[in-house]
């Protein structure tokens, strides 16, 4: 029995500390102060220096904001963007990591909707913020962040109100301020707001909590196998679901962050060969960039976690052939990034490469920090686990968002029935692994038959001449809809539409084979690299 002489307050302070990823940097800076924490061009930071700069920045920010104020960053994957993931919440603020590929008007909308008070912007991106102060009433300061890895760009006059170095220097005037607390009183406090890509309407602000970020980071560390010897290359934008929580996860492991402003094949392979990168994450297009690069060669150890769209089995097989371990995860902005993982079974090693890659392209099972995903019909009943019956993928657990910022209606709709509705259509296999078949809005219904565009895309991408493929439904007078494919060929490769149609006949049921294949120079994409199928549909309307 509990000792009745102890008060409930004493008990809770002894056995219940609110969870926050701030703990990760506090621990790594204390335990491993001299370990290299960050590499970026000519810059190196130890964990002590990492912690010290975060502390200095947080002191200045806390003197300027009220608890819960939003602080936005518009930056590539630089050390300053990484530091923001700790400094902003340490100061009591909420981080809004902005997509660096958005237009000025799109950025203004997000800044205004979030009520951002201070905006930090990389020198190269200052022009995108040129109208922000006039368009956003809440915005009080715009702080410029230079980067020594690029030549100083020409910055429009009158946009910024201060410089990053000057802001940091102000911490010297705050030595008498109370020490900062590397934690929170309420673990359900919002740590970040991430805005969706807005492909079907205005972007929605997805609220992450300290608790959710902490637990999702633990899952990332476990499933990626992060250790103190890990060298993690930042090919995944930190603005995308807070880099799938890996700014916190890599720091938790006291591993090394290798920053990268832009994903280029030569830069990625240079980091692999000369820095000894061991891990990276990214969308399938990043996998293709690495696999198809002129610099590509066999490596002893490299771990890639990919998500964002179902990866083509052919790309997985090619990366495996280079000695690269590929792990496939699935998730959305609303679930802190990855939620499920395709756990590799022991007996898969006995399969042929293409058969193993086919299994590895599935979305899998719930990660260690998540619950089991479900595939349900419109009445929320589980569909048959036969790998054929489609339904909507629904999720719940500790790494599901708190809700949409300032949008209770959308939040209620997303959480109908006590589960988060992903909007993705998938199947449940007999072994409990889910597989995404399409977005609900992208499914092609032809003569009453549901056709998965993902299935057609993967069949096309298994052809050696195909780099990428996107399939949509186009109107048909008899069948209602028929699939049409947009194909990007590999460099110097040649293949005709007729050849590809004949090729897919051996891999797809006849009614699934696209009626038409075209070869554009590129495909329309979201700023995070996902293909915008609605633009393809509009172009054929």
Q: Are 86 and 40 in contact (CB under 8 A)?
A: no
pLDDT confidence band for 170 (50 / 70 / 90): very high
pLDDT at 8: 61
Tell whether the torsion through CA atoms of 411, 415, 420 and 425 is positive or negative: negative
Name which of 7-21, 108-122, 428-442, 468-482 the model is least confident about: 7-21
CA distance 450 to 445: 5
Q: Mean of the pLDDT values across residues 415-432?
A: 95
How is the beta sheet containing 94-98 ordered, strand by strand?
162-163, 141-145, 116-122, 70-74, 94-98, 190-195, 205-209, 403-404
User: What are the C-alpha distances in Å from 64 to residues 57, 60, 70, 172, 463?
Assistant: 11, 7, 11, 15, 57
Burial class (CB in 10 A: 0-12, 13-18, 19+), 424: buried
pLDDT mean across residues, the chain: 92
Report pLDDT for 196.
86
Both tokens of 480, joined, read 């209602």
pLDDT for residue 231 is more than 70: yes
Report residue 509 as tokens.
């049921």
Domain residue extents for the chain: 17-29+44-209, 263-439, 444-540
pLDDT by residue (tens digit) across 46-86?
Answer: 999 999 999 999 999 999 999 999 999 999 999 999 999 99
Mean pLDDT of 237-259: 97
Range from 87-91, 435-439, 524-528 carrying the lowest mean pLDDT: 524-528
Q: Is the pLDDT of residue 312 over 90?
A: no
Instruction: In whole angstroms, give the CA distance from residue 197 to residue 110.
Output: 11
Q: Is 258 in contact with 232 (CB distance < 8 Å)? A: yes
CA atoms within 13 A on the CB side of 210: 24
Judge whether residue 200 has pLDDT over 60.
Answer: no
Pick from 461, 465, 482, 464: nearest CA to 473 = 482
Query: Is pLDDT of 184 > 70?
Result: yes
Query: What is the band of 510 on the pLDDT scale with cuts at 50, 70, 90?
Result: confident
- Average pLDDT rounded to a whole number, residues 411-431: 95
SS3 label, residue 56: helix
From the options 3.40.50.12780, 2.60.120.10, 3.90.1170.50, 3.40.50.720, give the CATH code of 17-29+44-209.
3.40.50.12780
**Reduced DSSP (H G I as helix, E B as strand, rest coil) percent helix, strand, coil of the chain, to 5:** 35, 25, 40
Q: CA-to-CA distance for 244 and 306, rounded, in angstroms?
A: 11
Which residue is it, tokens 């493929």?
469
Cβ count within 10 A of residue 167: 20
Which tokens hold the place of 161? 């109100």
What residues contact residue 250 under an 8 Å CB cut-off, 6+ apart?
226, 230, 232, 256, 257
Per residue in 74-123, pLDDT tens? 999 999 999 999 999 999 999 999 988 888 888 999 999 999 999 999 99
Strands 324-332 and 403-404: unpaired
Count helices and strands in the chain by DSSP H and E runs: 18, 26
Instruction: Report helix, strand or coil for 457.
Output: helix
The per-residue pLDDT for range 331-358, each reduced to its tens digit, is: 999 999 999 999 999 999 999 988 988 8
**pLDDT confidence tier of residue 27, bands split at 50, 70 and 90:** very high
445: Cα separation from own chain's centroid: 30
The confidence score (pLDDT) of residue 62 equals: 97
- Quick one: DSSP state of residue 381? P
Take residue 138 and report the two structure tokens written for it.
């809440």
Strand order in the sheet with 516-518: 466-476, 480-489, 516-518
Helix (H, G, I), strand (E, B), or coil: what is residue 42?
A: coil
Q: Is 271 helix (H, G, I), strand (E, B) or coil?
A: helix
The dihedrals phi and psi of 236, each to the nearest 5 degrees, come to -90, 130
Instruction: Check whether 526 has a pLDDT greater than 80.
Output: no
CB neighbour class for 135 (10 Å; exposed up to 12, middle 13-18, buried from 19): middle
Q: Which residue has the tokens 């964002």?
A: 308
Short-list 172, 213, 179, CA closest to 401: 213
The reply to whether 17-29+44-209 and 444-540 are identical in fold is no
Residue of 441 and 342 predicted with greater confidence: 342
- For position 425, what pLDDT does the model report? 86
CATH of 263-439, one of 3.40.190.10, 3.30.300.130, 3.40.50.12780, 3.10.450.50: 3.40.50.12780
Residue 2 has pLDDT above 90, yes or no: no
Residue 541, pLDDT above cutoff 80: no
Residue 329 in tokens: 């995860």
Within 13 Å and on the Cβ side, how many CA atoms surround 360?
30
Instruction: Tell which residue, 270, 255, 271, 309, has the closest CA to residue 287.
Output: 309
Q: Across the strands, what pairs with 130? A: none
Helix (H) or strand (E) holding 111: helix 104-114
Measure the CA dihedral 50/255/208/128, to 10°.
60
Q: Output the pLDDT for position 1.
A: 45
**Cβ contacts of residue 356 below 8 Å, gap of 6+?**
317, 320, 348, 349
- Give dist(CA 418, CA 435) in Å, integer: 22
Q: At the topology level of CATH, where does 444-540 sit?
A: GMP Synthetase; Chain A, domain 3 (3.30.300)
pLDDT band, residue 448 (cuts 50/70/90): low
> Which 3 state secondary structure label does DSSP give 154?
coil
Average the pLDDT over 238-260 and give the result: 97
Task: Please give the average per-residue pLDDT across 272-290, as a whole number.
Answer: 92
Give pTM, 2 decimals. 0.85
The mean pLDDT of 202-221, rounded to a whole number, is 96
pLDDT, mean of residues 177-195: 95
Q: How far apart are CA 398 and CA 395, in angstroms?
A: 10
State residue 21's pLDDT score.
98
Share of the chain above pLDDT 70, in %: 94
């Amino acid at each position: 029995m509990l000792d009745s002489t102890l008060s409930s307050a004493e008990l809770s302070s002894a056995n219940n500390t609110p969870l926050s990823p701030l703990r990760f940097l506090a621990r790594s800076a204390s335990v491993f102060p001299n370990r290299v924490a960050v590499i970026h061009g000519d810059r190196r930071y130890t964990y002590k220096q990492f912690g010290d700069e975060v502390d200095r920045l947080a002191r200045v920010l806390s003197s300027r904001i009220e608890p819960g104020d939003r602080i936005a960053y518009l930056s590539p994957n630089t050390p300053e963007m990484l530091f923001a993931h700790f400094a902003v919440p340490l100061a009591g603020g909420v981080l809004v990591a902005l997509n660096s590929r958005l237009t000025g008007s799109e950025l203004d909308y997000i800044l205004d909707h979030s009520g951002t008070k201070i905006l930090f912007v990389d020198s190269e991106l200052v022009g995108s913020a040129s109208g922000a102060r006039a368009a956003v009433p809440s915005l009080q300061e715009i702080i410029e962040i230079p980067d020594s890895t690029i030549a100083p760009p020409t910055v429009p006059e009158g946009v910024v109100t201060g410089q990053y170095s000057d802001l940091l220097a102000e911490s010297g005037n705050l030595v008498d301020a109370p020490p900062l607390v590397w934690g929170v009183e309420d673990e359900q406090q919002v740590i970040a707001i991430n805005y969706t890509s807005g492909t079907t309407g205005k972007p929605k602000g997805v609220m992450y909590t300290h608790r959710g970020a902490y637990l999702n980071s633990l899952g990332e560390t476990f499933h990626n196998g992060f250790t103190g010897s890990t060298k993690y290359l930042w090919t995944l934008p930190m603005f995308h679901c807070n880099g799938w929580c890996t700014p916190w996860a890599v720091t938790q492991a006291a591993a090394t962050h290798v920053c990268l402003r832009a994903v280029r094949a030569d830069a990625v392979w240079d980091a692999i060969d000369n820095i000894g990168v061991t891990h990276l994450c990214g969308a399938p297009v990043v996998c293709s960039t690495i696999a198809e690069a002129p610099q590509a060669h066999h490596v002893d150890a490299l771990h890639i976690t990919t998500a964002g769209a179902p990866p083509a089995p052919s790309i997985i097989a090619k990366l495996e052939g280079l000695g690269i371990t590929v792990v496939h995860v699935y998730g959305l902005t609303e679930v802190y990034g990855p939620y499920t993982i395709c756990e590799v079974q022991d007996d898969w090693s006995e399969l042929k490469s293409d058969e193993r890659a086919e299994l590895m392209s599935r979305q899998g099972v719930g990660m260690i920090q998540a619950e089991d995903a479900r595939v349900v019909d419109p009445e929320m009943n589980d569909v048959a686990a036969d790998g054929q019956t489609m339904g909507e993928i629904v999720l719940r657990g500790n790494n599901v968002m708190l809700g949409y910022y300032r949008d209770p209606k959308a939040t209620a709709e997303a959480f109908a029935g006590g589960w988060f509705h992903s909007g993705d259509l998938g199947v449940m296999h007999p072994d409990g692994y889910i597989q995404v078949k399409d977005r609900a809005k992208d499914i092609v219904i032809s003569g009453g038959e549901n056709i998965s565009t993902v299935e057609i895309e993967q069949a096309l991408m298994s052809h050696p001449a195909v780099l990428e493929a996107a399939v949509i439904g186009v109107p048909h007078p008899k069948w209602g809809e028929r699939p049409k494919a947009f194909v990007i060929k590999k460099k110097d490769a040649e293949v005709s539409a007729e050849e590809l149609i004949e090729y897919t006949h051996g891999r797809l049921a006849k009614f699934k084979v696209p009626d038409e294949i075209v070869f554009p120079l590129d495909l329309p994409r979201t700023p995070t690299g996902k293909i915008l199928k609605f633009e393809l549909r509009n172009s054929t309307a």
